[in-house]
Amino acid sequence: MTLSSSFSNNPDLDSWLHIHADGRVTVYTGKVEIGQKLTTAFAVIAAEELDVDLDRITVQTADTALSPAEGYTSGSMSMENSGTAIRQATAEARRVLLELASEKLGEPVETLTVTDGDVGGEHTNQHVSYWDLMGDKQFDREVTDGATPKNPDQYRLIGNPISAKGIDGLVTGAMAFVHDMELPGMVHARVVRPPRYHAGLKELDEAPVRAMAGVIEVVRDGSFLAVICEREEQAVWAAAKLAGLAVWDDKNALPSADIFEQLKNNPRESFPLADGVPQDIPVQSPETPAKAAATLSSTYQRPYIMHGSIGPSAALACFKDQGLEVWCHSQGVFPLRQAMAGVLAMPEESIRVSHVPGAGCYGHNGADDVALDAALAARAIPGRPVLLKWERADEHGWEPYGPAMQMDVQASLDDEGRILYWSHETYSDSHMGRPADHGEHSRLLASWHLENPRTPPIPQPNMGFQSGIHRNADPIYDFPDRRIVKHMVRELPLRTSSLRSLGAYANVFAIESFMDELAHESGADPLEFRLKHLTDERARVVLEAAATHAAWGAVDREDGHGRGIAMARYKNQKCFAAVVMDLSVDDFGAITLHHAVIAADAGQVVDPEGLRNQLEGGLIQSASWTLKEKVDFDGGGVLSRDWESYPILTFPEVPTIETVLIDHPDQPFLGAGEATQGPTAAAIGNAIFDAIGLRLRRLPLTQDRVREAAAEG
Amino acid sequence: MSKVSLNVNGHEHHLDVDEKTPLIYVLRNDLGLKGPKLGCGLEQCGACMVLVDGKSEFSCSTPVAAFENRAITTIEGIGTAENLHVLQQAFVTERAAQCGYCIPGMIVAAKALLDANPDPNEEEICEALSDNLCRCGTHARIIKAVLRAAQEIRG
């Protein structure tokens, strides 16, 4: 058994679980719950291995004072890293507990049985419980590879329907998000950002604001501006007043040339990929094989898009006794602590950062920035807890966006319609903008605006397997020859970071759209064409399951109705997902989604409904990106400042969805939270082509795009 | 500051607040009802919705004074963990929540719908929830939950 990599920093068994004397079990994870319900899956895994009731388990999520350090909750790694670690830790704990019970009962481990934490001996008929054996005690040992987790045929919980942990609190409004926290003496704050990224505060007459009811402090440090008030609405009003009074310098307009021109023309660093890993060698030109019967090329484009959390970012901070305590919804409390320690010039140990749920973030949004904002505000009034929330315009205008991207794809077919050669180039800014220890630099927003500012570090090209820009740039199909190139482009206008699936969404959109274009060129059915180039057995099963479930090929469709199929394996090594989308395009070019079928293989399924929820949620979010979303900006700044200027998919626009899960109880978990992002986009594009014969290659695929494409013929 | 009287979840409250204060801050910070969520402050997302005389309304920007002499029901007044409303139970059964931030507003809007129309079709549900945004993509499950609740209410 290979131990989870999460043990390398956290080898002690006590870092992972605690048996309480009163019969409860706390399981610790360094990951965070952000609506993906990993706490449910982790509780199921622990209850299964320990043989205790699910209700006994509490999952403690990331807290720099309590939990194992597991970096960021990102990249669909939580099940694989933390889930596997919890499985191995609880299996180890069970082994130790049974050895203790064996000694106590005078009976060999082999004849002991466990029922809800109660260990019974077959021969002696004596009992002893986990809580008696280990209640409130330490295991005092490291996790070893000596315990074997259960075989799937012994499972009572895993893979069966269960209720989600904590869902009662969500439907009653009783669960406290960080926005809902209250501490004695707590006060409220809001920030006032510059009108543009790089504008500086020139003048400000604070007096009228200080005279307003409830204003405790106006916090001003360079161009960082915040206001603290007794009551929340007072902070909202005072911030609005401050924004009106502040005079900003007018320099540093954003570069406003067409973003796709900038992507192609700006300075860049380019790397060819080998097996998903960038190589520091010169890029060769694409080839045309001698046997090529046809060579096609297409360019696909994605604009900047935003995380668009429904809850604006929020954090609670308090300075006390030279220490700082922060509650926030960051996906990485340990790296955030490092980043904050640098900016605040405090030792890391004197800062505690606890994760408290926020609204879904889908990657690196404002969660970390707001933590620094709250700390800067709280520093002005030591001893008093400060709850700072961003306003909607702060969230829309300042979060780090998913980068604009361009994919240039070219392929050659032989005279039997088989792909001989494939070339894929992706142009993009960095997808890695998360804060950590960056020395003299900082990625935390407010630090750029301070009197003694820090500047963001120059992002370095990520040379890792399937990371950022080149995630899923390499198709899973079999081609005799391929050329995959990553271009990391510099000096682009907007702040960017990790948004659910990173580069995979746009790369898969390009690959799976182009597969359809090639199928069409060779007169083949899109499903058959894919299968002809696909030998990975699990990928074939998933693709065929989606097609079968949707009765692919059997439907006689009305005019304007279309169906598209697409698939990918996230990072070429996580969850396999295929999507079939049915939609219609009316005479005016308006697109309506009707029905979607998802098929997915996420390895061993722990919580089937939780998994479906992630896959379906990914599909709907991706449909929203694909049909509607684009961050607008000009030289003056970001124009998408609310839900009217940045609309997302609404109820009347959502398709019905069916999901088919292919369970492999004997296989490792495969992260699934990002698996449907790419396939959904391409299935929509392919269905539009099927409906009206027009290929749309620039996202979002709007009614205007349909009309433009129709006009171009 | 002035005296404002509010009827919330069947209780009368007399509060000393600035009458221009949007209702949501009074509900959350003075009455401790944290169910209604602050999402946009612009009446664009529905996270703040409460029932006002039985109809779903935004609470994030209309001044508290406008709600005097009206019956306000927040998610807390619809049901509790010990005594879940049929709609809340249906959301649990259908696992119709991911992050859950939008859910109180969703249930409020769905309750207003079912009180007026106990037998809605999918299209009517979508229409009734069209002011409520969900970013996790739980829509399909929310629709199923509302259909399930409607069925159970009709018996």
DSSP, residue by residue, B26-49 = IIIIIS----S--S-SSSSS-TT-
Q: How confident is the model at residue A212 (pLDDT cuts 50, 70, 90)?
A: very high
Q: How far is A359 from chain B (nearest CA, A)?
A: 5
| CA B2 to each of CA A117, A209, B5, B17, B62: distance values in angstroms, whole numbers, following the listed order | 58, 21, 10, 6, 17
User: What structural domains and CATH numbers belong to chain A?
Assistant: 5-158 (3.30.365.10), 178-250+307-398 (3.30.365.10), 405-431+467-712 (3.30.365.10)
* Chain A contacts in chain B segment 78-117 (CB below 8 A): 79-81, 84, 88, 91-92, 95, 97-104, 107
Q: How confident is the model at residue A316 (pLDDT cuts 50, 70, 90)?
A: very high
What spatial distance separates the first Cα and last Cα of chain A, rounded to whole Å?
59
Structure tokens at A558: 């009305």
How big is the A-B interface in CB pairs under 8 Å? 182
- The answer to whether B75 contacts A618, with C-beta atoms less than 8 Å apart, is no
Task: Give chain B positions within 8 Å (CB) of A617.
Answer: 98, 136-138
- The answer to whether B137 contacts A171, with C-beta atoms less than 8 Å apart, is no
Q: Does B126 touch chain A (CB under 8 A)?
A: yes
- The answer to whether A213 contacts B18, with C-beta atoms less than 8 Å apart, is yes
DSSP A639: -
Distance in angstroms (rounded) separating the CA atoms of residues B119 and B127 = 14
Q: How far is B51 from chain A (nearest CA, A)?
A: 14
Closest residue in B to A177 (Cα) is B101
Closest residue in A to B122 (Cα) is A652
Name which of A55, A310, A392, A628 to mutate to probe chain B: the one with the most chain B Cβ atoms within 10 A of its Cβ: A310
Q: Does B125 touch chain A (CB under 8 A)?
A: yes
Query: If phi over 0 gives left and psi between -120 and 50 gives alpha, with beta otherwise, what is residue A13?
Result: alpha
Closest residue in A to B35 (Cα) is A173
Q: How confident is the model at residue A163 (pLDDT cuts 50, 70, 90)?
A: confident
Q: How confident is the model at residue A254 (pLDDT cuts 50, 70, 90)?
A: confident
Whether complex ipTM tops 0.85 = yes
> Which residue in the set A232, A310, A620 is minimally distant from B139, CB to CB?
A620
Closest residue in B to A649 (Cα) is B133
- The answer to whether A37 contacts B21, with C-beta atoms less than 8 Å apart, is no
- The answer to whether A233 contacts B33, with C-beta atoms less than 8 Å apart, is no
Distance in angstroms (rounded) separating the CA atoms of residues A486 and A496 = 17
Q: Does B48 touch chain A (CB under 8 A)?
A: no
| pLDDT single digits (tens) A99-112 | 999 999 999 999 99
Closest residue in A to B19 (Cα) is A233
Place of tokens 């995630």: A471
Q: How far is A267 from chain B (nearest CA, A)?
A: 35
Task: Give chain A positions within 8 Å (CB) of B141.
Answer: 613, 616
Distance in angstroms (rounded) separating the CA atoms of residues A324 and A341 = 10
| C-beta atoms surrounding A168 within 10 Å | 21
Place of tokens 């504008």: A199
> Which residue in the set B34, B39, B91 is minimally distant from A310, CB to CB?
B39
- The answer to whether A617 contacts B95, with C-beta atoms less than 8 Å apart, is no
Q: How confident is the model at residue A145 (pLDDT cuts 50, 70, 90)?
A: confident
- The answer to whether A310 contacts B102, with C-beta atoms less than 8 Å apart, is yes
- The answer to whether A172 contacts B88, with C-beta atoms less than 8 Å apart, is yes
Superfamily the domain B2-77 falls into: Beta-grasp domain (3.10.20.30)
- The answer to whether A620 contacts B137, with C-beta atoms less than 8 Å apart, is yes
> Which residue in the set A171, A310, A621 is minimally distant from B47, CB to CB?
A310
- The answer to whether B29 contacts A171, with C-beta atoms less than 8 Å apart, is no
Tell whether the model's pLDDT for residue A642 goes beyond 80. Answer: yes
Q: How confident is the model at residue A515 (pLDDT cuts 50, 70, 90)?
A: very high
| pLDDT single digits (tens) A546-581 | 999 999 987 678 899 999 999 999 999 999 999 999
Distance in angstroms (rounded) separating the CA atoms of residues A327 and A63 = 9
> Which residue in the set A309, A616, A644 is minimally distant from B135, CB to CB?
A309
Q: What pLDDT is attached to residue A36?
A: 86
Distance in angstroms (rounded) separating the CA atoms of residues B136 and B100 = 9
Angle at A162 between CA A157 and CA A168, to 5 degrees: 140
> Which residue in the set B80, B91, B140 is minimally distant from A656, CB to CB?
B140
* Most confident by average pLDDT, A32-46, A61-75, A311-325: A311-325
Q: What pLDDT is attached to residue A255?
A: 84
Q: C-alpha dihedral over B84, B89, B95, B99, to 10 degrees?
A: -30
Task: Give chain B positions within 8 Å (CB) of A170.
Answer: 91, 97, 100, 103
- Low-confidence residues in chain B, pLDDT < 50: none
- The answer to whether B88 contacts A213, with C-beta atoms less than 8 Å apart, is no
**Domain boundaries, given as residue ranges, for chain B:** 2-77, 86-154
> Which residue in the set B41, B129, B135 is minimally distant from A392, CB to CB?
B41
Q: How far is A471 from chain B (nearest CA, A)?
A: 22
A401 burial level (CB within 10 Å; 0-12, 13-18, 19+): buried
Of residues A534 and A33, more confidently modeled: A534
Q: How confident is the model at residue A595 (pLDDT cuts 50, 70, 90)?
A: very high
Query: What pairing do the DSSP bridges indicate for beta strands A224-229 and A187-191?
Result: antiparallel
- Phi–psi pair at B51, nearest 5 degrees: -85, 130
Q: Does B47 touch chain A (CB under 8 A)?
A: yes
The pTM for the full model equals 0.96
Contact B62, B26 (CB under 8 A): no
Task: Give chain A positions within 8 Å (CB) of B9.
Answer: none
- The answer to whether B136 contacts A360, with C-beta atoms less than 8 Å apart, is yes
Q: How far is A125 from chain B (nearest CA, A)?
A: 39
Q: How far is A41 from chain B (nearest CA, A)?
A: 14
Q: Does B121 touch chain A (CB under 8 A)?
A: no
Q: Which amino acid is at A354?
A: S
| CA A385 to each of CA A183, A296, A377, A388: distance values in angstroms, whole numbers, following the listed order | 7, 61, 10, 10
> Which residue in the set B28, B88, B133 is minimally distant from A648, CB to CB?
B133
> Which residue in the set B75, B140, B141 is minimally distant from A172, CB to CB?
B75
Tell whether the model's pLDDT for residue A218 goes beyond 90. Answer: yes
Q: How far is B121 from chain A (nearest CA, A)?
A: 12
Q: How confident is the model at residue A243 (pLDDT cuts 50, 70, 90)?
A: very high
Q: How far is A187 from chain B (nearest CA, A)?
A: 11
Task: Give chain B positions within 8 Å (CB) of A621.
Answer: 135-137
DSSP A81: I
CATH class label, B86-154:
mainly alpha
Q: How far is B69 from chain A (nearest CA, A)?
A: 22
Q: How far is B79 from chain A (nearest CA, A)?
A: 6
Give me the helix-helix angle, A367-379 and A333-344, nearest 10°. Answer: 40
Percentage, residues of chain A above pLDDT 90: 91
Name which of A651, A653, A656, A680 to mutate to probe chain B: the one with the most chain B Cβ atoms within 10 A of its Cβ: A651
Of B85, B12, B130, B49, the residue nearest A643 (C-alpha) = B130
Q: Does B127 touch chain A (CB under 8 A)?
A: yes
Q: How far is B45 from chain A (nearest CA, A)?
A: 8
Q: What pLDDT is attached to residue A198?
A: 82
Query: What pairing do the DSSP bridges indicate for beta strands A576-585 and A277-278?
Result: unpaired
Q: Where do the H-state alpha helices sit in A20-148?
A: 38-50, 78, 84-105, 130-134
- The answer to whether B125 contacts A651, with C-beta atoms less than 8 Å apart, is yes
Give me the helix-helix angle, A608-628 and A504-521, nearest 10°. Answer: 70
| pLDDT single digits (tens) A460-506 | 999 999 999 999 999 999 999 999 999 999 999 999 999 999 999 99
> Which residue in the set A308, A613, A648 is minimally distant from B98, CB to CB?
A613
- The answer to whether B99 contacts A34, with C-beta atoms less than 8 Å apart, is yes
